[in-house]
Homo-oligomer: A and B are copies of this chain.
Amino acid sequence: MTADPETTLRADARRNRDQILAAAKTIFAVSGPEVPMEEIARAAGVGVGTLYRRFPDRDALVRAVAMDNFERVLIDAKVIAAEETSAWSALSRLLRQSVELQLSVQLAMVSPRALVILKNDPEVRRLRDEILVVLDEFVAGAKAEGKLRLDVGSGDIAILFATLLRQVRAKSPDVAELAARRCVGIMIDGLSARPGTELPGRPITSHDLDPMTEHS
């Protein structure tokens, strides 16, 4: 049906397309999906014209970035599931290593703009649902192992990491990057099952904040 851009494009065009996607991913992660198109083009080392030729409008770009990252996370999760022996180590590894990937992904679940764009895209939803299933499995498994505190839901975890990803503006990118890794570490410790403070309310599930469905 639709020609596959991966194979149909001329070599240089293909290269540019990839650069655009990569640049957009980085920039979206830091500044959200509303940055000027020109900024993305510059970061990708191409002209705006090229950007628009490949992605007719901003929505198309956002969708493409989301798809790309959802896929990547899903693959990661599956690899991890296969390699790790316990659900807890799988969960914490996924969270830890996904700083970059989740970066974009979660952002796509938090930004109102992206939400509107993605809400009605069946392909995106399918991927997203698959990810949620895997995540829920990890969470349930880790609880069963007694490693994850029982009073959290996958929604809590999602929020925790979604909020964390907006890169902090420290004095240098190095410090910022280190800080992010350390925050993740602290949060993982906060999630582990050890006698700690009791949390208010009830566990938040992924359904509680499912941005893909209408408000209650």
Contacts and interface: CB of A to CB of B under 8 A. Distances in A.
Contact of A182 (B156, B166, B196, B210): B156
Contacts of A164: 163-164
A78 interface: no
A187 interface: yes
B187 A199 contact: no
Interface residues of A, number: 46
A187 B164 CA distance: 11
A171 B109 CA distance: 12
A204 B186 contact: no
Interface of A: 92, 110, 112, 152, 155-156, 159-160, 162-164, 166, 168-172, 175, 178-179, 181-183, 185-192, 194, 196-201, 204, 208-211, 213, 215-216
A186 B191 CA distance: 6
A178 B197 contact: no
Given A152-B182, A152-B186, A162-B168, 7 more contacts: A112-B169, A160-B186, A178-B201, A182-B201, A185-B200, A189-B196, A194-B194
A200 B178 contact: yes
Contacts of A204: 170, 175, 178-179, 182
Contacts of A172: 215-216
